[in-house]
Amino acid sequence: MKSRLPANDSRHRRGFILVAVLILIMLASMVAISLLFRLKAEDTAAAAGAGAEQAWAAAMSGVQEAMRVGAAAKPGSTDWRNLPRAFRDRPVCDDGSDRWFFTVYSPPDSDALAELRFGLTDEAAKLNLNAAHTTNFTGYQRLTVQHIAALRDFLDFDDFVRPEGAEQEYYSALPQPYAVRNRPLDTLEEILLIRGFTPSLLYGEDANMNWRLDPNENDGDERPPADNNDGRLDLGLQPLLTVSSYDPNLDNDGVPRTDLNNSADRLPHVELPPALTNFTAALRTNKFQLGHAADLLEAKLKIKDAAGKEVEISSGIGKEELPVALDLFTTSARERTEGLVNINTASVEVLASVPGIDEPLAERILSTRRSISPERRTTIAWLYQEAVVDAALFKRIAPFLCARSYQYSFRVVGFGLPSGRFRVLDVVIDVAPDEPVITYLRDLTRLGLPFKLEPEASPAQGTAKSGIRNPKSEVRQVQMKRFRGACLGRNGNFRCVDSARGVRPSSFFLLHSALSHDA
């Protein structure tokens, strides 16, 4: 029996199919649109992430440049303290949407508080808290007797509480107790763990750590931080203290020095005054030990000659020979000396805290060093040559002093224009090893931009595009290596690098190789 659908029914069914197809098309379109949105969002997120990473890579290029300049610095030179052509608005690459730059900067000199320096800061220009001889904070008026006692107790190896000091008992009684260090500090910020040391003592009025006087840092108590509203930015203890400085026991050519106290150590293969050769031989035969190479200055020695008669011999080291003697000789087998203060870079405050140096002498050192050439400043001999001190005082203060820099601190901002993305890093490098290392790295991006981003047009455009094959992929490569790298996380944003090993910067060479070295 044949059944026939009524015409009405057939139309109904066709209508139904049409609606179903329309709904399907609509659903498919919605899926497609949502996918598109999602892709777009992912793209935006990726672009933002890539921007932050690019900024990081640009900043690391600045670190690399600081290492190059620091490692190339000659003893006695101080050009690196302010070198805008190497450190200001240096172009790194152009990725098609942004041009990337870095700027390396340091706090201004105390007599020029308005502006930043585009250069490095010598860690040997500060007092090293970890150096055994750093016990004298006479120049640091903001430190009380209690501060100094607590500081020494925190660092010394014993648990004996000195008068006005604080050992474990004090730190155990805190709401959040922690262990007293009883050994050297790894980073300067650890000073904040010591009783009485507050952020305002360490950072002064510079609450956002940009080394510039912001409105809220010069309005008294109106807005935090508290400040004295005197139109000058107090930077606290930070510019005066370090835990990083050391001087390798090498001469200015990088050759290990001859140890006068070690008979097995041969005299250097250079022409020495005959008197010095005799003097050294006499020292060694008679087993005389010197405390420092400076003890050779105008030195005399009474010995018995072959006939048993007492004779006086002279070292032959006077004013003119002193620089060579200081450069070539040592009295210690140690590979490095911690915390020597650089007389070519240290401030009056720091110099006046070196044992044997008072404020008037520190002022004389500063005024004299301005008038002599970098060639004259390659060793500390100029203090005696320029009659800043006499021979006796020179010998007394020489063991605490040096005339060169190996560890540098600075901040670097990596940034892209026109997007304005940026990263700010706080860095300490050590250029004493054959391959310079980063010994401290901290991301300060969250504290904001240190200054307006407006590179001068001329240097940026000339070199930004030259010599870069594929900037984007190079930056990515740097980033990937960074995550494999050895920056150890500590306290959230706090990136501290093991100062004993440091981080080899080879991972950043790729990006850096794109820089032009016309500077």
Interface contacts to Ca ion, rule CB under 5 A: 153, 156, 182, 205-206, 208, 210, 212, 214, 216, 219, 223, 227-228, 230, 232, 234
Which is closer to Ca ion, CB of 118 or CB of 382?
A: 118
> Which residue, chain included where needed, has tokens 């006005």?
164
Which is closer to Ca ion, CB of 84 or CB of 225?
A: 225
Q: Least Å distance between CB 225 and Ca ion? A: 5
- Indicate the SS3 state at residue 447: helix
Q: Least Å distance between CB 166 and Ca ion? A: 9
d(CA 317, CA 273): 8
Is the separation of the CB atoms in 450 and 517 below 8 Å?
Answer: no
d(CA 1, CA 7): 18
Q: Least Å distance between CB 200 and Ca ion? A: 11
101-132 as b/e, with b when 16 or more CB fall inside 10 Å? bbbbbbbbeeeebeebbbbbbbbbbbbbbbbe
Which is closer to Ca ion, CB of 207 or CB of 402?
A: 207
Q: Least Å distance between CB 182 and Ca ion? A: 4
Is the separation of the CB atoms in 164 and 145 below 8 Å?
Answer: yes
- Indicate the SS3 state at residue 368: helix
Q: Token pair of 128, please?
A: 């090293």
Q: Least Å distance between CB 156 and Ca ion? A: 4
Geometric angle at alpha carbon 342, from 339 and 347, rounded to 5°:
105
Which is closer to Ca ion, CB of 182 or CB of 419?
A: 182
DSSP result, 185-234: -SSGGGGGGSTT--HHHHHTT-TTSSSS--GGGSSTTSSSSP---SSS--
Q: Which of 453, 479, 447 is nearest to 91 (CA)?
A: 453
Q: Least Å distance between CB 158 and Ca ion? A: 5
Q: Least Å distance between CB 181 and Ca ion? A: 8
Dihedral angle, C-alpha 58, 61, 62, 68, nearest 10 °: -170
Which is closer to Ca ion, CB of 214 or CB of 386?
A: 214
Q: Least Å distance between CB 231 and Ca ion? A: 7
Which is closer to Ca ion, CB of 58 or CB of 235?
A: 235
Which is closer to Ca ion, CB of 232 or CB of 284?
A: 232
Dihedral angle, C-alpha 275, 280, 284, 285, nearest 10 °: -10
Which is closer to Ca ion, CB of 111 or CB of 253?
A: 111
DSSP 8-state secondary structure symbol assigned to residue 503 = B
